[in-house]
A and B are shown apart, each in its own frame.
Chain A
Amino acid sequence: MHPAFSVIFLTTLIGVGQGLFLALVTGQTYAAVKIVPMQDPVTFFAWGSLVSLLFLAAGLLASFFHLGHPERAWRAASQWRTSWLSREVIVLPLMMAAAFAYGLLHYFGIDPVIWTSPEGTSLSLTLAVGLAGSVVAFALFVCTGMIYAAIRFLQEWATPLTVINYILLGGASGFTLAAAFAAWTAPELVRFFGGWAVIITVLAAGSRTASLVRNARLKPKSNLQTAIGVRHTRIVQKAQGAMGGSFNTREFFHGAPQAVFQAVKWTFLVLVFPVPLALLWAGMDGADRGLLAAAFAVQYVGLLAERWFFFAQANHPQNLYYQAA
């Protein structure tokens, strides 16, 4: 498939936004059960939510560049019964609303206790909103992943690993950002978020490698014989029905030389996993702001490469009709 930059930015940016939101709520949950100290609602939670919201909004903005008719985008909410894309269109604004509400409640300190357990653990309004928002964040990851995993013709994508990768890669970048953000706003939580970032990054390395291994062994279900229905081992295409290119030759091929394709793969394998892990490891001691910010930046750039590769690797059966492209 042709990797569209709008979609690469959309999926990576909202992944960071969702991951950061999950990190904030994780922090608050741990604080509620008194494992980590509670942070300042404004400098940590409200501004953290704002950063998350900005990433989500930037992703939304990027998505509009993908559409031929962005002015009609509202129509895309109508087919949620059947279309994962439609579901994403509904859940993304919900996610933004959740991040907005979570930040706003923290900012104004509207945080009444709404339930207390017999052991004395209390559930405050912001935490309840945060937990509800976390469900939305996971739902959004599932929608984004299923948009790709649901197309059975793209065998590289049609696997639960696609959804798992979206969750783990988005989560990893969000928690890495949370670690960097904490270096400025809540230094005592750097180890907490950094530790989670390391764990999720390692898990993501595992699942992404698993999908690479799976895809390397994939047997295409269709071939030229079934595509045109002629049973012969030697079929050569002589004409594609268009002298110049067509939508079919532009949309479904990445067009990069094999060397670039391979280079992007190794780039993301290095930039998403080992380098940020090393930077996180080094930066967690003494909450080094520069190192932690670099960990996030490197990982994000790596994720751009990862997403490019994700699209480029998918081989659409329609390409069988365009042997010369």
Chain B
Amino acid sequence: MTQLALVIDLNVCVGCHACVTSCKEWNTSGPAGYMSDDNPYGKDPTGTFFNRVQTFEVGAFPMTETVHFPKSCLHCEDAPCVPVCPTGASHKRAEDGIVLVDYDKCIGCKYCSWACPYGARELDEHQKVMKKCTLCVDRIYDESLPESERKPACVLACPTNARLFGDIHDPESEVSVAIREEGGYQLMPEWGTRPANHYLPRRKTRMHIHEDELQRADNPLKKEERLPRGPVTEPTLDDSTSW
């Protein structure tokens, strides 16, 4: 079994929205048709996006930290949005675990969007069908592209490499290793949806310097100066332990 997924590293995401724009660019130009965009430069811009980057401030000033949070369909392994669909337009592919909407079958009843706790689905205001991240399914298998480019558009666009893509069921894949070793976690685990996408937490690289590293514990004078030496004829610690 394969379960393709994104792993998003919140530690390096700088909130530049490159993934948002390249996602929209790729998917609005694709064979599945455009993604609506109303008043893009006007007063109330609104449109369909598969991916959005939100920003949160954690903590109280001055101890604050800004967390940029890219958000898209998580391709849940127990996708609650799929069984509720009355038409079968929403489905989860057995071969790679991608959750997709068949735009030709969707009747735009919005029921699936109610059944997604993450708000990952958006009804296209003009095409009147449900849309969501496809993991660039029209790109990742395209053999006319060089192998290094057979990745979702957002992954290729990310300047800080905050987005990893791969099979989370393969324990040795880049994404599985990242989840395992960097503390990857799932969103709202309390609902049992088992999201395939994982997030890597903010990680601080801290240096711990202990008191005794600054001050030599074996210094009998408790003072930073040359240790008094005994007479050279006496055996030193080195002499007794180096055999």
B107 touching A69, Cβ below 8 Å:
yes
Once A151-B84, A237-B56 are accepted as A-B contacts, the answer to whether A73 and B107 lie under 8 Å apart by CB is yes
A318 touching B108, Cβ below 8 Å:
no
B106 touching A69, Cβ below 8 Å:
yes
Residues of B within 8 A of A153 (CB): 80, 114-117, 191
Select from chain B the residue with minimum beta-carbon distance to A63.
B109
A214 on interface, CB distance cutoff 8 Å: no
Select from chain A the residue with minimum beta-carbon distance to B201.
A229
Complex Cα distance A322/B56, Å?
Answer: 11
Complex Cα distance A154/B114, Å?
Answer: 8
A78 touching B128, Cβ below 8 Å:
no
A252 touching B119, Cβ below 8 Å:
yes
Output the least CB separation between A81 and chain B (Å): 8
Residues of B within 8 A of A245 (CB): 44, 46
Among listed B64-72, B152-160, B163-171, B212-220, interface-contacting one: B64-72
* A230: contacting residue among B56, B89, B122, CB under 8 A: B56
Q: Mark interface residues in A303-319 (1 if CB within 8 Å of B CB, else 0).
A: 00000000000001111
Complex Cα distance A241/B87, Å?
Answer: 30
Residues of B within 8 A of A84 (CB): 84
Once A66-B109, A251-B113 are accepted as A-B contacts, the answer to whether A79 and B86 lie under 8 Å apart by CB is yes
Once A72-B107, A85-B109 are accepted as A-B contacts, the answer to whether A151 and B115 lie under 8 Å apart by CB is yes
A89 on interface, CB distance cutoff 8 Å: yes
Complex Cα distance A72/B89, Å?
Answer: 11
B145 on interface, CB distance cutoff 8 Å: no
Residues of A within 8 A of B201 (CB): 229-230
B39 on interface, CB distance cutoff 8 Å: yes
Among listed B47-55, B172-180, B224-232, interface-contacting one: B47-55
A83 touching B84, Cβ below 8 Å:
yes
B191 touching A248, Cβ below 8 Å:
no
A248 touching B119, Cβ below 8 Å:
yes
Complex Cα distance A84/B52, Å?
Answer: 31
Output the least CB separation between B150 and chain A (Å): 27
Output the least CB separation between A30 and chain B (Å): 38
A321 touching B48, Cβ below 8 Å:
no
Residues of B within 8 A of A229 (CB): 185-187, 199, 201
Residues of B within 8 A of A147 (CB): 111
* B88: contacting residue among A70, A78, A150, A154, CB under 8 A: A78
State which size class the interface on B falls in.
Answer: 35 or more
A227 on interface, CB distance cutoff 8 Å: yes
B56 touching A79, Cβ below 8 Å:
no
Complex Cα distance A82/B84, Å?
Answer: 6
Once A68-B107, A76-B87, A76-B109 are accepted as A-B contacts, the answer to whether A226 and B188 lie under 8 Å apart by CB is yes
Residues of A within 8 A of B203 (CB): none
B181 on interface, CB distance cutoff 8 Å: no
Select from chain A the residue with minimum beta-carbon distance to B52.
A241
Complex Cα distance A75/B87, Å?
Answer: 5
Select from chain A the residue with minimum beta-carbon distance to B51.
A241
A239 on interface, CB distance cutoff 8 Å: yes
Residues of A within 8 A of B127 (CB): 68
Output the least CB separation between B58 and chain A (Å): 5
Complex Cα distance A240/B105, Å?
Answer: 30
Output the least CB separation between B85 and chain A (Å): 6
A25 on interface, CB distance cutoff 8 Å: no
Residues of B within 8 A of A259 (CB): none
Select from chain A the residue with minimum beta-carbon distance to B123.
A247
Interface set, chain B 137-151, CB cutoff 8 A to A? none
Most central of A66, A154, A246 by chain B CB within 10 Å: A246
* A318: contacting residue among B48, B88, B119, CB under 8 A: B119
B84 touching A222, Cβ below 8 Å:
no
Residues of A within 8 A of B117 (CB): 153, 222, 316-318
Can you give 6 A-B contacts (C-beta < 8 A)? A76-B107, A78-B88, A83-B111, A229-B185, A230-B58, A237-B57
Chain B interface residues (CB < 8 Å from chain A)? 15, 20, 39, 43-49, 52-60, 66-67, 69, 71, 80, 83-89, 105-111, 113-119, 121-123, 125, 127-129, 185-191, 199, 201-202
| A-B contact sample (7 more), CB < 8 A, given A67-B108, A151-B115, A252-B119 | A67-B109, A79-B83, A151-B114, A226-B189, A241-B53, A316-B114, A318-B118
